[in-house]
Amino acid sequence: MTDSSAMVDTAEKSEQSGLGDYIIHHIQDSNEWNIFGYHLHLPTFEPVRILGFEFDFSITQHLVMMWIVSVLLITTFWLLFRRKKLIPTGFAGAMEAMVLFIRDEIAIPNIGLKDGKRLTPFLTTMFFFILTCNLIGLIPLFGTATGNITVTASLAVVTFISTQLMGMAKNGVLGYWKSLVPHGIPLPLLFIIVPIEIFGLFTKPFALAMRLFANMIAGHTVIYALIGLIIAIGSIFVSPFAVGFALFINLLEILVAFIQAYIFTMLSSLFIGMAMHPEH
């Protein structure tokens, strides 16, 4: 009886562990890409040690997703705008409207007229890349690259470097760093204000990375957890409720995909504008 009970407990634990592993497997990055039930093994390489640090250049699913998104965006915009038209129509008109929205409602108000127009291509590229990565992850065949903290952190690093470079280009190297400290601060307070300002330079991109990562991975976790309820409870009567709620969350994820792309682009332009125009 003891052995039988132990076998039942082991089976139950393995089933529960299997559900957990199933959710984690579909959320985290891996060296496999499941295409219609066929596990495509992506190339892996030995880590390369550079200056005491190990760098893994293996091909992962999320890296492939970013390649697909990049090719998709380049091809789409090339096909839409390879012939110049006075008034774009159809899908080209919709894309132009989004670009104009980024220029007129995000770049120019936060950075300024001249500099805003100059940085519109950068902000537009960031917006469409994040948006497409978010949306393509909702298709069962693909994965969500923006649900990977290394991807969102890399995007945040791009914003951080752009912020510092544009701030120094606009105000000079010394002028930019001097602008971080408010004028008229007593000398003793500088020992408090300066570390806080420097710390703030790194908390901004950190918040960008964590916000995008958390919002994208949270929705997918809820969807897989709802689907997993069917197996966990073991009743077919749960299916309509689980699938219905999962479908609702999936539709909500479409809205979240647009909102998160907009927020990331908006905050990036705001940080760059604050660095270029510290007096405002």
- Residue 266 covered by a domain: yes
- Residue 99 covered by a domain: yes
pLDDT value of position 11: 38
Q: Is 262 helix (H, G, I), strand (E, B) or coil?
A: helix
Q: Which two tokens stand for residue 277?
A: 């125009």
94-103 contacts, C-beta under 8 A, 24 or more apart: 98/127, 98/128, 99/124, 102/127, 102/265
Q: How many helices (H) and strands (E) does the chain have?
A: 9, 4
- Residue 28 covered by a domain: no
For residue 49, the cross-strand partners are 54
- Residue 50 covered by a domain: no
Task: Give the contacts of 3 (CB within 8 A, at least 6 positions apart).
Answer: none
Structural domain harbouring 99 = 84-276
Domain count of the chain? 1
For residue 33, the cross-strand partners are 40
Mean pLDDT by 10 residues, the chain (280 residues): 40 50 72 76 82 82 92 92 75 90 94 92 96 90 89 95 93 86 76 85 92 89 80 76 85 92 95 84
- Residue 61 covered by a domain: no
- Residue 245 covered by a domain: yes
